Structure 1
Amino acid sequence: MKCGYRWLWITALPLLAGPVQAAPKAKPPQAELFTNLLQCRSITADADRLACFDRQVGAMEAASQRDEVVVLDKGELNKTRKTLFGFSFPKLPFLAGGDDADETREVEGVSHIQAKIASLRSLGYGKWQIELEDGAQWMTTEAVTGRSPKVGQSIEIKRAAMGSFMGKIEGGRTIRMKRVS
């Protein structure tokens, strides 16, 4: 009987410790070219500061022309997230949803897409390969019953449990899907 109380005390101990605070999230590292540019602001002499800015902007422009650095605004980043929807990537800071305060955001910043079907190919047994307007290729992993999909119909694809995806073609039932290219 004594053993049972000890087990209860050990399991209750973490509850008595209070809430656990998450460690503050570190900012992703910035490109050296960008940090060098920002350091130019600390130069007090006007001519030297201007020379620093000119030098660093020139270096960024050259790197951009060599495709070594890319600058995206938030709109372009959101477009990129949508085109990558359905692929598995490591957790990359520039693809993350942003501020952790918004717990509802998905890891990639996109929880679903809505698009038009650009082309279709029957894979037999009621399964289909579907190309969307942006060129993304999806495949149904279960048979589409009822009406067959048609080019021009809208499709909504949502993130589902355990890394899977569910798609709903205009007027049809929800079916499992996977991104193929």
Structure 2
Amino acid sequence: MTGLRALFLLVPLCVAAQSSAAPQRQQPRPEIFTDLLQCRTITVDAERLACFDRQVGAMDAAAQRDEVVVLDKGELNKTRKTLFGFSFPKLPFLGGGDDSKEEAQAEEGVTHIQAVIASVRSLGYGKWQIGLEDGAQWITTEAMTARDPKVGQPIELKRAAMGSFMGKVDGGRAVRMKRIS
């Protein structure tokens, strides 16, 4: 009985120690960006300005060569919506990469999208390939029995259990769907 009591005391202590000792990991910044930030430490005004000019020029040149991309939060959310339905490894610039609660929530980011159907193609047996206005292609993995989807109708796609997706065309019954491109 004392061993079991010791186990009950040990588990909360381990959890508390792990949560308080876990450092907040931040993704490493690109060297070109850290070099720019280092310019702030220069105390002589003319040297600091020269450093900023040099580093901003280097950053601009890297952006021109597509070696550095700067996204604001709005562009990041737009990118997440465009990629909705694909499974990727945890990518830090899309909000993944760490297993902390905040990171897990950021990784999920977009849980559903609403779009307009741009193309439809029957696959037989009540299944459909549905193209959205943004170019995304989805297929139903189960039959749509109520009515056939049509170009111009609204569609809502939501994350479902275990990495699957559900789609509702024009407020109809939800069916399982899969993104193909």
TM range (shorter): 0.7 to 0.9
TM-superposed CA distance for 1:109, in Å, is 1.1
Per the alignment, residue 66 of structure 2 pairs with 67
Q: Give the direction of change, closer, same or farther, for the CA distance of 1:13–1:152 in structure 2 (3 Å limit).
A: farther
Distance 2:118 2:162 in 1: 28
Distance 1:109 1:178 in 2: 19
Per the alignment, residue 54 of structure 1 pairs with 53
Distance 1:120 1:142 in 2: 15
Deviates more, 1:58-67 or 1:92-101: 92-101
Per the alignment, residue 83 of structure 2 pairs with 84
Give CA deviations for 1:126-154 in whole Å, capped at 9, x if unaligned.
11111111111111111111111111111
Task: Tell me if structure 2 keeps the 8 A contact 1:98–1:109.
Answer: no
What TM-score results when the alignment is normalised by the length of structure 1?
0.87
SS at match of 1:105: helix
TM-superposed CA distance for 1:14, in Å, is 4.4
Gaps of 5+ in 1: none
Task: Tell me if structure 2 keeps the 8 A contact 1:81–1:108.
Answer: no
Higher helix residue share: 2
**Is 1:160 the counterpart of 2:160 in the alignment?**
yes
Q: Give the direction of change, closer, same or farther, for the CA distance of 1:155–1:106 in structure 2 (3 Å limit).
A: farther
What TM-score results when the alignment is normalised by the length of structure 2?
0.87
Distance 1:158 1:164 in 2: 9
Task: Tell me if structure 2 keeps the 8 A contact 1:97–1:109.
Answer: no
TM-superposed CA distance for 1:15, in Å, is 3.4
% identical equivalent positions: 72
Aligned residues: 174
Per the alignment, residue 8 of structure 2 pairs with 15
Give CA deviations for 1:48-73 in whole Å, capped at 9, x if unaligned.
10111011001111111111111111
Task: Tell me if structure 1 keeps the 8 A contact 2:127–2:143.
Answer: yes
SS at match of 2:167: strand
SS at match of 2:92: coil
Deviates more, 1:94-103 or 1:130-139: 94-103
TM-superposed CA distance for 1:93, in Å, is 1.4
Gaps of 5+ in 2: none
Alignment of 1:93-108 (within 5 A): 93-96=92-95, 105=105, 107-108=107-108
Per the alignment, residue 143 of structure 1 pairs with 143
